[in-house]
Structure 1
């Protein structure tokens, strides 16, 4: 299982300083210490410190970005959270299922759990940047959770798994840079063989990203896929 210090909570466009403070407390409860903020609200608002109960140590070393794509580059596995079912994702994981997958990740692999803004959550373009989707099961009549409540649930599940000291095999999953390179290579090859004549390229690539993202590809998997693409390209050149 990856180490706690390699798991980051990512807040995208958080709007309420008090919610950020509550998130800091929730992270501390679960032993999580790494926070990433994308285009956050005012971090000097006194409500933030109040809701964090005075402990701003996590905020002091938080990394701040203006763009989610840039923020996710250091991570090998990224999980987007949402309360709504998204058609482009065939599978959604519960927080406990997320932790089950984390238990199989190499101890040095960096993982990001991504949360959207309080009012509308992550947009489709932001979801597309992540490899997996996670939803917290809740009552249909009132499914929405406060941002800090949602973070607390994931924080608890992660800490619970650490306490119980689960053991499982580790795999070295690839990072976002390698994944994006593979997706670009695959898209180029599919264009060359005329595959995209069957439908809209963007929608088809979204589906491909969806099922490959669920597989948590290793470095070897990436080499195999890119090797297939390279072989196809060479065959096309010989033909022409």
Structure 2
């Protein structure tokens, strides 16, 4: 993440929120924070809330005025959930994030957050090139300071990763697999996919039927049902397929249980002390 992305907290009132902001920044790979006249800082409360991100907290710079904190920044944006009498460019975090990543390659960028109870003041917002609104629930749109910083920092990270052509989730294998239905001669599937509840019912039915047949030892089930669930999730079974499988299981449950049940290790094909623990 560009080091020129600077989070500016204007007069934060609670030290715990400052610590929470430090954690939010670090989890998204950001490191620069400026504090404008905080009410209580340094503070052990801030340090406690910044657990694991003390390097970000201790590296924060203190400023006496908002103007001083943004003076060396080429672009300044501010979060605001309020409508103003004077119109300014109003954007969401996702809309503005790519522009901020681009600008950060050329110079310092300030992302400003206001005091907890009132947000940025009108005169502070007037110094911002863009006003950012997080599209929250209109009936309750007030976010905690740490939460607002987390949302904005997340969008900045996504924009940065997209610019690099990365997803941010590193894996040695190509996972999860993607399925191109057109490749197999159909543009859409002919049945609705099974719901989570329907898959749960199938797994429970498998557990009953396999216990009845002697395949599964209920006292030592190991990972059999978990592996079946993973199989069905990977296959994205549909409702008709669920019904077919449950019909087969119903027929198994109608059979008499075996008199001599094999051990679960034999049923799973495990020999010589092998275990299914991975």
TM tier, smaller: 0.5 to 0.7
Aligned counterparts of 1:139 and 1:109: Cα–Cα separation in 2: 34
- Residue equivalent to 2:155: 157
Aligned counterparts of 1:106 and 1:64: Cα–Cα separation in 2: 21
Tell me if 1:65 matches 2:63. yes
- Residue equivalent to 1:87: 85
Does the Cα contact within 8 Å between 1:79 and 1:130 map onto a contact in 2? Answer: yes
**Using a 3 Å threshold, how does the CA distance of structure 1 residues 55 and 89 change in structure 2: closer, same or farther?**
same
- Residue equivalent to 1:129: 127
Aligned counterparts of 1:12 and 1:65: Cα–Cα separation in 2: 9
Between Structure 1 and Structure 2, the one with more helix by share is: 1
Number of residue pairs aligned between Structure 1 and Structure 2:
165
Supply the RMSD in Å over aligned alpha carbons.
1.6
- Residue equivalent to 1:212: none
Q: TM-score, normalised by structure 2?
A: 0.57
Equivalent residue runs for 1:93-108 within 5 Å: 93-105=91-103, 107-108=105-106
Task: Note the alpha carbon deviations across 1:142-198, whole angstroms, 9 max, x for none.
Answer: 01000000000011011112222358xxxxxxxxxxxxxxxxxxxxxxxxxxxxxxx
Q: TM-score, normalised by structure 1?
A: 0.65
2:43 to 30, 42, 45: 45
Does the Cα contact within 8 Å between 1:89 and 1:133 map onto a contact in 2? Answer: no
Aligned counterparts of 1:123 and 1:60: Cα–Cα separation in 2: 26
Aligned counterparts of 2:104 and 2:62: Cα–Cα separation in 1: 26
Task: Note the alpha carbon deviations across 1:197-240, whole angstroms, 9 max, x for none.
Answer: xxxxxxxxxxxxxxxxxxxxxxxxxxxxxxxxxxxxxxxxxxxx
Equivalent residue runs for 1:1-240 within 5 Å: 4-105=2-103, 107-165=105-163
Task: Note the alpha carbon deviations across 1:76-96, whole angstroms, 9 max, x for none.
Answer: 000011111223134311001
Higher relative contact order (CA 8 A, sep 6+): 1
Of stretches 41-50 and 28-37 in structure 1, the one that deviates more from structure 2 is 41-50
Structure 1 unaligned residues grouped into runs of 5+: 168-240
**Using a 3 Å threshold, how does the CA distance of structure 1 residues 55 and 113 change in structure 2: closer, same or farther?**
same
